[in-house]
Amino acid sequence: MSTTRPTSRSATVLAPALAAGALAVLVAALALTVTRGGTLGNSRPLHGWYLADLGLFALAVALLRRVPARQVAGLVLVGSVAVAATGLLAPPRTSDDVYRYVWDGRVQAAGISPYRYAPDDPPLVRLRDPALFPPESSCTAWNERRTATGSCTHINRPAVHTIYPPVAEFWFLGLHMAGGTVRTAQVGGALLAVATTGALLLIRRQDWRAGLWGWFPGIAIWSVNDAHVDTLGALLLVVALGLAARRQAVAGGVALGAAIATKLLPGLALPGAMSGVLARRPRPRDLVLPCSALAAFVLAYLPYVLASGTGVIGYLPGYLREEGYEDGQIARFGLLRLVFPAGWAPYAAALVLAVVVLYVLRRGDPARPWGGALLVTGTALLLVAPAYPWYGLLVVALAALDGRWEWLAVPAAGQALYLLGGDAQQPAYAAALAVVLVGVVVRRLRSVAMVVPS
């Protein structure tokens, strides 16, 4: 059965035109979403806009698949730039994390470790300005809160130390040196998003699958408008897996270690980077990639450890307790709580994830490490059911590498939970799991149909 794309004149002309038209409508819808769709303080208008954006994205990618291969890369890249640009049309609408990024960069530029003090602490008062600490404010906006001293700030959790790992902190310092504003961070997010699209096109040889990342609506919202540093982690992870697929273990390990030192979550991709290692007798060189990753991770932390000691842990333990990751609180493990008591859910999650990791290490394809990385990362998010959709940026990048669009339902579930609240956790993630399973079944049926003789 031939898989060659049609090369007729109609396909050459019509298919790109239709895909470009759908892309233009998607970009217009995203622009309206960002400028008129509401904010986290008034999220109801976003519900309809997000659904429309998702539908238009699905249509645009479906049409992209019919575009002749030689025209795909240019169209995907242009679309990626356009989608990212829509996120620059307004200040952050649904997250205030970027204000902490700006603050951490400013603190480092002043020669102070970002792990040493909380924004509320008196030694940092001299670094305050109206952009982060608005004067004479009623402090009632969705992205404002009171500090311990009664002043108002855009920085979330101003009484606690930063939670971000060192490569993220390097990025924040770089943003400060480039301008040190929220707009600077948004532009940085746009550059990272487009760079990730470029990396995907290079690794997958200019394949349409890069559009799953570059045109995904969450890129405009999470990567650019809200400027989440998770995009940097996604870019480094894509590079790491691309290098691993080419058996460049040292470089791939360094890139993976840097990704983990950006947001920790990319550590879930390590089994994927070592896909199939247990399918044969282990060899010493199998340790090169994980050891390189560990070395890069440790070296990234070293200057901050020397400056702040154990303070580099920051607010991470408090965050885990607050979010319900430690003890199976009602806040997390929604799907598992349908089967197990809440107190058992973390252990059940660990067991399921361990089985998936073992499967990837034994059965994964080392030529396609992103397949195993997607399976482990996507499974982990389904099990934990986070309320922050930008955690799913890793899944979007991995889905674009592997072409398994069904996994995009996982970050979509996170977005639904983020907007609708805790009651939506189980139905949202159950729907995501159903979509993933349907995708698996459909692919299996197609593979069987392809090998059955006619």
Question: In sequence order, what DSSP letters do the residues of 363-393 get, joined into one string?
Answer: H--TT-HHHHHHHHHHHHHHHH--S-GGGGH
pLDDT(6) > 50:
no
Distance (Å, whole) CA 416 – CA 422 = 10
Decide if pLDDT at 329 tops 50: no
Distance of alpha carbon 237 from alpha carbon 258, whole angstroms: 8
* CA–CA separation, 416 and 428 (whole Å): 7
Average pLDDT on 195-200 reads 98
The residues near 310 (Cβ < 8 Å, ≥ 6 apart) are: none
Residue percentage of the chain with pLDDT more than 70:
94
Q: What is the pTM of this model?
A: 0.93
**Amino acid identity of 164?**
Y
Q: What pLDDT does 452 receive?
A: 58
pLDDT band at 350 (very low <50, low <70, confident <90, very high): very high
Return d(Cα 176, Cα 182) in angstroms, integer.
Answer: 10
- pLDDT value for 132: 95
For residues 147-157, give the mean pLDDT: 90
Report CA-CA distances (Å) from 221 to 37, 68, 159: 11, 29, 27
102-128 burial, b at 16+ Cβ within 10 Å, e below that, comes to: bbbbbbbeeebbbbbbbbbeeebeebb
Distance between CA atoms of 281 and 369, rounded to whole angstroms?
19
> Each residue of 359-368: pLDDT tens digit?
999 999 999 9
Q: What are phi and psi of 123, to 5 degrees?
A: -60, -15
What's the mean per-residue pLDDT of the chain? 92
Q: Give the other-Cβ count within 10 Å of 58's Cβ.
A: 15
Residue type, 321: R
Q: What is the pLDDT of residues 65-107, one digit of tens each?
A: 999 989 999 999 999 999 999 999 999 999 999 999 999 999 9
Integer Cα distance of 246 and 198 in angstroms: 17
| H or E element in which residue 146 lies | strand 145-146
Contact 132, 102 (CB under 8 A): yes
For residues 311-319, average pLDDT: 82
CA torsion sign for 268, 271, 275, 279 is: negative
pLDDT, one tens digit per residue, over 256-279 is: 999 999 999 999 999 999 999 999
Q: Over range 392-418, report the average pLDDT.
A: 97
